[in-house]
Amino acid sequence: MLAGTFALFISMAAKNVAFLSVLGESSLFEWGCGAATALAFSTGMFLSLCGLLGGNDQRWKFLVLYLIGLLTFCSMLSFYFLGYAVFSKIYYLSNDAPNVLPSLSASARTGGSEPTRERMAQAAYKFFGVTLAYRRDNGKLTYYQPTDQDIAFYHQLEKDSSNAREIHSVLKDQLRQYPWLFGIYLGSFFTVHLAGACRLMSRGYPKIRRRSYDESNLG
């Protein structure tokens, strides 16, 4: 469990410490740390369970260790599950932005009043830099003429968009990692406990077999 805690600490430090940022940007490094953490905690929990069922005088210590491992394990599973749910919602909402422009274009032509249609054309320029034609009350189409405030707003949004694209890339990377890490944690838990149970059965089987043989001879 100490080894698992160390691997988890290294994974978190790589995302927050400047000189480790190169490692933090690597998906293979994150998956490696996740696999090491999952295997270490799964093994520690299984060994603690064996100590708890071993009938010695320090079973409460093994119980505390098992509960600590179980709490950490469940916390990481919840973190990956909830993180995927939240990030996927943000990611797909950001992908819906291009679909707004056709809606603004239609509203600029078919809106309820001329001021409303003009505001739709203004929004199209401020957010997308596109000059739309909106319909006046007399039925004629007029291209929207952006003001200085509109132009300044669009240029500032362009600067912010570069940061938004970086955030979008990070979200996409996290969405790719979280299902794998969730699967690695669950897979490690079941694999370690299944392998450990098979190992215990294989060690105990000869004793049970000899006991049955001796009892049959006594009979």
DSSP code per residue over 42-108: HHHHHHHHHHHTTT-TTHHHHHHHHHHHHHHHHHHHHHHHHHHHHHHHHHHHHHTGGGHHHHHHHHH
Residues 50 and 128 grouped into a single domain:
no
Whether 104 and 85 share a structural domain: no
- Residue 42 or residue 85, greater confidence: 42
Q: Please state, in angstroms and rounded to a whole number, the distance separating the CA atoms of residues 7 and 139.
A: 68
Please indicate whether residue 2 or residue 27 has the higher confidence score (pLDDT). Answer: 2
The tokens 């809106």 sit on which residue? 111
Q: Are residues 25 and 47 in the same domain?
A: yes
Buried b (16+ CB within 10 A) or exposed e, 17-26: eeeeeebbee
Q: Which two tokens stand for residue 120?
A: 């739709």
Q: pLDDT tens digits for 175-199?
A: 778 888 888 888 999 999 899 888 8
Give pLDDT tens digits for 117-159.
888 888 877 777 788 888 888 888 888 888 888 888 777 766 6
Q: Whole-angstrom Cα distance, residue 203 to residue 52?
A: 19
The whole domain housing 109 covers 98-146
**Residue type (1 letter), 196:** G
Q: Is residue 19 part of a domain?
A: yes
Cα separation values, 42 from 61, 187, 203, Å: 17, 10, 21
Q: Is residue 170 part of a domain?
A: no
80 with 181, same domain: the answer is yes
What's the predicted TM-score (pTM) here?
0.57
Q: How many domains does the chain divide into?
A: 2
> Both 84 and 113 in a single domain?
no
Tell me the two tokens of residue 19: 């000189």
Please check whether residue 47 is in contact with residue 193, taking contact to mean a CB–CB distance below 8 angstroms. no
Same domain for 142 and 52?
Answer: no
Q: Is residue 165 part of a domain?
A: no
Domain annotation covers residue 160:
no
Q: Which residues contact 41 (CB under 8 A, 6 or more apart)?
A: 1, 4, 69, 72, 73, 188
Answer yes or no: is 172 within a domain.
no
| 25 and 59 fall within a common domain | yes
Residues 113 and 91 in one domain: no
Within a domain: residue 23? yes
Same domain, 89 and 103: no
What is the rounded CA–CA span in Å between residue 120 and residue 88? 29
